[in-house]
Each structure stands twice: as structure tokens, then as C-alpha cells.
Amino acid sequence: MGIADKIMVDTNPLISLLGDYQTSHIGYVYTMNFTEACVLTNDAWKERVSGIPHNGFLVAAAFDPEKMSEAHNFDREVVLLRVLGPASLPSDSDLLRTRIEHNQRRTADEVFNQDIHDGLALLSHSFQSSASCGLGVS
């Protein structure tokens, strides 16, 4: 972190709310308007922060706190969000269709599959994402 960034981090109380990016990052805002923001996350990020409780608060920013001097003035904002609950992703219907087709193709000896991934490909299983929508409190 450069000297200018260090001064900005030390003198701006909002940046201290962001915490350490490596341990507190839970996802990316993929849609936002004046009343609501939806955050794309995954199980690994949620597990790292011990979950995202309903009615909990998230602090969102579009800049790296350690490189704040490189961020455009327009992006130097911090938004407080309250978690309202899960949200659907645009790709959810495709995932549902894949699971239905997978189960329709099962044979009689696959009714109680012992595979930890339930027969789904490891790659598709590990990339299943979820989303949460929250009320912007800013």
C-alpha cells in the first residue's frame, strides 16, 4: 500500500468498515437501483464469514481499500445494505432444468446414489452460485 493510500485509509472512517478484503469479501453486486441491490455470492464466501444472516448488514464498495488513490472519485462510495433474503438468478431456470433432466435419466439402481455430488459433474457442482437481495440503507 502506497503512502497516499495509507493516509486515505487512516483518515477515512468509512474504509475501516470494509474490513480486510481477503477475509470479509462475500460477493459482487450484480444489479442495483434506488431501493434494492442484489449480491452474487457462493457457499465458500458465505462459509468464510460464518454466514450471512437475514436482516444482517453488509457494507458494499466498488473500490479496493488498499488502492483507494487509484479509484475514480465517482467510485469512492460505501453503501450500507440490509439483507432481506435470497434472490433468484437469471440462470436458475437452466439449473433447475438440468437437475430435472438428471433425475429423469436415473436408473433403478441410482435411486439412492452414494456419490457426494449426486451424479452432477464436479465442475458444475462447485460453481453453483446464489444471490441475496438487500435493501439499500446508504
The lowest-confidence range among 58-62, 65-69, 79-83, 120-124 is: 120-124
Residue 110 is assigned to a structural domain of this protein: no
Q: How many domains does the chain have?
A: 1
Query: Is residue 109 in a domain?
Result: no
User: 22, 7, 10: which is closest to 64 by C-alpha?
Assistant: 22
- The secondary structure of residue 57, as a DSSP letter, is E
In DSSP terms, which residues pair with 28 in a beta bridge? 40
Cβ atoms of 73 and 29 closer than 8 Å? no
- The answer as to whether 99 is a domain residue is no
* Residue 56 belongs to some domain of the structure: yes
Residue 102, C-beta contacts closer than 8 angstroms, at least 6 positions apart: 119, 120
Is residue 114 domain-resident?
no
Domain span at residue 37 reads 3-91+122-136
Residue 64 within a domain: yes
Which pLDDT score is estimated for 42?
87
Answer yes or no: are the C-beta atoms of 135 and 58 closer than 8 Å: no
DSSP-assigned states of every residue in 87-105: E--TTHHHHHHHHHHHHHT
pTM: 0.63
